[in-house]
Structure formats: C-alpha cells, structure tokens
Amino acid sequence: MQTISIVVPCYNEEENVRDFYDELMKNESFFEKNELVPEIIYVDDGSTDKTAAEVKKLASEDKHVHLISFTRNFGKEAGIYAGLSKSTGEYVALMDADLQDPPSLLPEMFEGMREGYDSVATRRVSRKGEPPIRSFFARRFYKLINRMSRTEIVDGARDFRLMTRRFVDAVLSMSEYNRFTKGIFSWVGFETKWIEYENVERLKGETKWSFWKLFIYAIDGIVAFTTAPLAIASFLGVLFCVLAFVLIIVTIIRKTLFGDPTSGWPSLVCIISLISGVQLFCLGIIGQYMAKTYMEVKNRPIYLVREEF
Ligand code: UDP
Ligand code: MG
C-alpha cells in the first residue's frame, strides 16, 4: 500500500469542507484499485468561521483526515508550504477546498505518475465566469512575467497538482519567506505533464482574492522570480546621460552663436518633473527588492501552528 496525501488550504471554507471530502471519496474505487491510502490534510489558514470545527467533525468519522490550524491568516502560499511539510505520502495532491479543482481528475492525473512524470499539473483553458477586466490583466501579467523571467509561469495554470515525493521535497527545500508557488513549481524543474480542463466555478462561499490582492500578488511574483526591473534603472540612467550630453552641446553652440536670452523656464520645469518622476520610479523598484530582502533576512517562520493532528 502507498499513501496519497491530499493537501487542502482552507480560509473560511466551513461550507466546503464536507462537500470536498464527499466529492474526493467518490474516488474510493480508484484508491483501492491502485492500492492507495488517502491522507487528507486540511490547512486551516486562520479562518474566522467554523472551518476547523468542521474538519474535526470529519476527523472523528475518518482517521485519514488531518488538520493544521494556523494562529492567524498567513496566506495560501504559507498554507501550501505547511500542508506539503506535513504530508507523508509517496504522492501528494494539492487542491482547493471550493471544488474548483475537481477531484474526479485525480485518476487521469495518476496515469501521469505511472508514465513516470514527477508532477502532473492542471491548466484551465477558459476563464469562464471571471470578470473580463480580471482576465485581461491576468493575461497581461503572464505575458509580462514570462518576458522578464527565465522561469516559465504558465498562463491559466492552477495550483492543482499531483506530485511525487521527490518533487515535493524539492519544493520544500526552497524555504524562502516570499513564496510564489507558481514560480517555485516551475523553478524546481522535473518533467511536468499538463492536463487541461474547462474552468469550474466555485461551489459555495466567495473568492478570497480581490483585484487589489491579485495586483500585489502579481508584483510579488515578479519580484520573486526576476530581477529584470532593476535593470530598468540603469537603462534609464544611461538614456538620460546621453540625452543630457546632447543637450549640453546644443546649449553651448546656441549660446556662442545667438547669445543667451533668458527664456526656457517652462521647458526647464518639464525636464525637472520628468527626471524626478523617473528617479522616484526607479527608487520604488529598488525599494520593492529591498523590502523583500529585508523580510527574507528577518528569517521569520512562514507560519505558526495553533493546533495540529
Ligand atoms: N485560501 C487560503 N488562504 C487565503 C486565501 C485563500 O488558504 O488567505 C484558500 C481558499 O480557502 C481556497 C484556495 O485557497 O481553498 C483558493 O482560494 P479562492 O477559491 O478564494 O481563490 P480563486 O479560486 O478565486 O482564485
Ligand atoms: Mg476558488
């Protein structure tokens, strides 16, 4: 018998805990046929509702159900890290609690393991049910980050993934504080098989991601996986030096040929504003990297546990 761990990050998912379990257990014959024992790890990411209580109820009925409860909300990335650390299975699946990652795909994903892949990932081919403006910015983000970073971040890739133990261990060996899991999964390498499916809408409750949260997440992703923006500062610096040099020559020639009537105040103001704007922008970029470095150097724990079994 081999163990298959199912890691489920939950933040205020009291309505979905049991539905997820029921849906997952529809795979019982698949588990039996492949001699797999499920180990279901719910990670309660500081929920303020009855998520933990629901999990405990489930655990009293099925000893394969486990829980890690955080002391507060640490974010989904921390939840993933905690769940993966706790998992003991030869195979580990990572799934959302809201059933947007259909458990019925597991048998097909497991085929990939049999074929020798170390990770089988899923990608949604449509963004049905998502606000169009969000889809637009999501697409722009993937274009941008893939142009800047050497780590490939697949558009539409979900966190829904089945992994072998050695893949999970590789992910866990990256113990950085600023975790951008989509990038980490790609960074560790190994062969990944992609499975595509139509977007499924959330079963109950609502999404935990506001537009603003996603925007910050996008910036975190860029800062975590490329330093290309830092080069912008040097590039602009060189550009402005060249420009200044040309202007100096023009000014000298004009002065010697035509004298120096006092004018050009408006253009001077424009130039000063432009250049200070660019300078602040570049400082901002450097600030972003410095802030991340600062957080990393503090070496704080990625999550803190209130309760675990
Ligand atoms: N989640 C979490 N911590 C958070 C936010 C979300 O553990 O701070 C979990 C959430 O409970 C769900 C999964 O991450 O199981 C995906 O979240 P959600 O469905 O809100 O995101 P969406 O599917 O809309 O991108
Ligand atoms: Mg969801």
The 10s digit of each residue's pLDDT in 40-63 is 999 999 999 999 999 999 999 989
CA distances from residue 202 to 51, 137, 155, 290 in whole angstroms, order as listed: 17, 21, 20, 37
**How far is C-alpha 135 from the geometric centre of its chain's CA atoms?**
16
- Which residues have CB atoms below 5 A from the ion given as ligand 2? 98, 100, 202
Q: Using CA atoms, how far apart are residues 177 and 297, in angstroms rounded to an integer?
A: 9
Averaged pLDDT score across all residues of the chain:
89
pTM of structure: 0.85
Contact call for residues 157 and 122 (beta carbons, < 8 A) = yes
Q: Using CA atoms, how far apart are residues 92 and 106, in angstroms rounded to an integer?
A: 11
The confidence score (pLDDT) of residue 204 equals 80
Find the 175 Cα to ligand 1 centroid distance in Å. 21
The confidence score (pLDDT) of residue 86 equals 94
Ligand 1, atom 23, residue with closest C-alpha: 207
For the Cβ of 79 lying below 6 angstroms from any atom of ligand 1, the answer is yes
In this prediction, residue 170 has a pLDDT band, given cuts at 50, 70 and 90, of very high
The confidence score (pLDDT) of residue 267 equals 79
Q: Using CA atoms, how far apart are residues 253 and 247, in angstroms rounded to an integer?
A: 10
Q: Evaluate if residue 203 carries a pLDDT over 80.
A: no
More confident residue, 203 or 196: 196
Q: Evaluate if residue 201 carries a pLDDT over 80.
A: no
For the Cβ of 98 lying below 6 angstroms from any atom of ligand 1, the answer is yes
The confidence score (pLDDT) of residue 10 equals 94
For the Cβ of 75 lying below 6 angstroms from any atom of ligand 1, the answer is yes
Q: For the beta carbon of residue 188, count every other beta carbon within 10 angstroms.
A: 21
For the Cβ of 73 lying below 6 angstroms from any atom of ligand 1, the answer is yes
Q: For the beta carbon of residue 149, count every other beta carbon within 10 angstroms.
A: 19
Q: Evaluate if residue 198 carries a pLDDT over 90.
A: no
The confidence score (pLDDT) of residue 276 equals 87
